[in-house]
């Protein structure tokens, strides 16, 4: 006796298909969920570090609605100012629509201008470090290379007074060479003596900070008759042009952003189209196979660190000639160190680094606005907490996959077993 079996299996509902796709792990979803976790943890930190909100919980059982509303509104207002201080100020836009003039336009452009100003050197330095990380070479000397580029660009900038195109070009070339030479020291030592690049590049940071501190009190760099730690100013012909300076002098976004954007395309092309870029990727993904294929490991190591250092040196030049215009003991801030996390956040991909730097710039600009304009003056450092949590989530995607029970084909859970940052 044969039993007839219907060959047509029941088709799953469209809603179920969508649910399965939504829960399927991918990098975009991991990033969104990491941002969500960052915002939740940031909200908790805002509540527990704001005395007014801590005291409000004493009346929770008698007035629960008021307590929850007060806490929610404070957190919402803080996040609203992070957004308005970094991207889009709604009040300024309404005023501009009602009264269209240059002053109101400058106010409306202020947040995005500040974000791009902060992001510009991070884009370039992040690209440089990403080149090394994808090749399994860990350049931790970005800060020293940023300073080296700034020092050489500053020397050219205040010593010469040429046509703007020529002088800026010389500053750019000098900064790239300075950063590349400093990084090449680690490359040569690693290639021929086996010295670890992390130690060498890290020590170069301290060398450059101390060297710059000395140079700033020499007659070559110090202003005539004044040795207060500030160098001579870059001549106007050596400064990068601003986009909106005719509206307001506080809008500091400049041509450096276009240079940084161009570097994204250059690095993208380098990895995808050039023979040298392919060799670097081979070395990073499988060093043994690269050597078997005849790739010179010593030469490749030096090239990697020169490229990384050159881009970090360029970042120093963009910061000096586009924003600061003179050197000081604090020149470069923490751009060289932040570029490490920007590269990590961007998964060492050029466009990932670009958007990672924009995110960092937004957190810098928005954090300042949050501290300045919230009634309880919520600390700027809390924006950095959100930033750190997001970076941690992206750097450990397996944790996000596990916490939110996403379906994973093994890509994220196994990503830590080999390759590390180079993946």
pLDDT in tens, 117-135: 999 999 999 999 999 998 8
- Cα 1 off chain centre by: 71
- Cβ distance 359 to 393 under 8 Å? no
Question: What 3-state class would DSSP assign to 222?
Answer: strand
Tokens representing residue 345 in the block: 């956040």
**Separation between Cα atoms, residue 234 and residue 237, nearest integer Å:** 8
- Cβ distance 45 to 397 under 8 Å? no
**Separation between Cα atoms, residue 166 and residue 258, nearest integer Å:** 18
Q: What angle do CA 73, 77, 79 make, to 5 degrees?
A: 120
Name 407's bridge partners. Answer: 24
Q: What angle do CA 127, 129, 133 make, to 5 degrees?
A: 115
Cα within 13 Å of Cα(160), Cβ side: 20
- Cβ distance 314 to 179 under 8 Å? yes
Q: Which H/E stretch holds residue 206? A: helix 197-215
Digit-by-digit pLDDT tens for the chain (423 residues) are 555 555 555 565 666 566 566 667 677 788 888 889 999 999 999 999 888 899 999 888 888 899 999 999 999 999 999 999 998 888 888 888 888 888 888 888 999 999 999 999 999 999 999 999 988 889 999 999 999 999 999 999 999 999 999 999 999 999 999 999 999 999 999 989 989 999 999 999 999 999 999 999 999 999 988 888 899 999 999 999 999 888 888 888 999 999 999 999 999 999 888 888 888 888 767 767 777 777 888 888 899 999 999 999 999 999 999 999 999 999 988 899 999 999 988 989 999 999 999 999 999 999 999 988 888 778 888 888 888 888 888 878 888 888 888 777 666 654 443 344 444
């Amino acid at each position: 006796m044969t039993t007839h079996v219907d060959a047509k299996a029941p088709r799953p509902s469209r809603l179920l298909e969508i649910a399965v796709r939504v829960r399927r792990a991918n990098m975009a979803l991991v990033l969104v969920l990491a941002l969500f976790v960052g915002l939740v943890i940031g909200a908790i930190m805002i509540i527990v570090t704001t005395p007014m909100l801590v005291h409000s919980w004493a009346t929770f059982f008698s007035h629960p609605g008021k307590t929850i509303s007060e806490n929610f509104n404070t957190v919402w207002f803080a996040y609203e100012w992070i957004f308005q201080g970094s991207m889009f100020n709604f009040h300024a836009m309404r005023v501009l629509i009602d009264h269209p003039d240059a002053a109101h336009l400058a106010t409306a452009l202020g947040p995005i201008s500040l974000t791009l100003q902060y992001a510009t050197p991070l884009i370039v330095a992040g690209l440089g470090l990403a080149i090394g990380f994808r090749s399994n070479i860990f350049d931790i000397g970005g800060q020293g290379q940023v300073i080296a580029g700034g020092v050489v660009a500053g020397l050219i900038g205040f010593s010469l007074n040429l046509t703007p195109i020529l002088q800026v070009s010389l500053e750019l070339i000098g900064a790239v060479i300075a950063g590349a030479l400093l990084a090449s020291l680690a490359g040569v030592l690693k290639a021929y003596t086996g010295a670890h690049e992390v130690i060498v590049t890290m020590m170069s940071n301290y060398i450059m900070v101390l060297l710059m501190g000395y140079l700033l009190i020499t007659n070559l760099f110090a202003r005539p008759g004044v040795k207060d730690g500030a160098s001579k100013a870059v001549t106007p012909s050596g400064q990068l042009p601003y986009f909106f300076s005719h509206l307001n002098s506080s809008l500091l976004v400049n041509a450096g952003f276009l240079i940084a954007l161009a570097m994204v395309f250059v690095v993208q092309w380098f990895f995808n189209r050039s023979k040298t870029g392919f060799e670097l990727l081979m070395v990073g993904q499988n060093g043994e196979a690269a050597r078997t294929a005849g790739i010179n490991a010593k030469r490749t190591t030096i090239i990697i660190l020169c490229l990384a250092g050159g881009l970090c040196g360029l970042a120093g030049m963009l910061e000096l000639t586009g924003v600061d215009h003179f050197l000081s003991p604090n020149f470069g801030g923490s751009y060289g160190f932040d570029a490490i996390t920007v590269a990590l956040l961007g998964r060492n991909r050029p466009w990932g680094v670009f958007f990672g730097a924009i995110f960092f710039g937004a957190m810098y600009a928005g954090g300042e606005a949050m501290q300045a304009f919230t009634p309880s003056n919520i600390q700027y450092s809390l924006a950095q907490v959100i930033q750190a949590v997001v970076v941690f989530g992206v750097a450990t995607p397996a944790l996000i996959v596990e916490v939110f029970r996403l379906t994973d084909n093994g890509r994220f859970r196994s990503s830590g077993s080999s390759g590390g940052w180079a993946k």
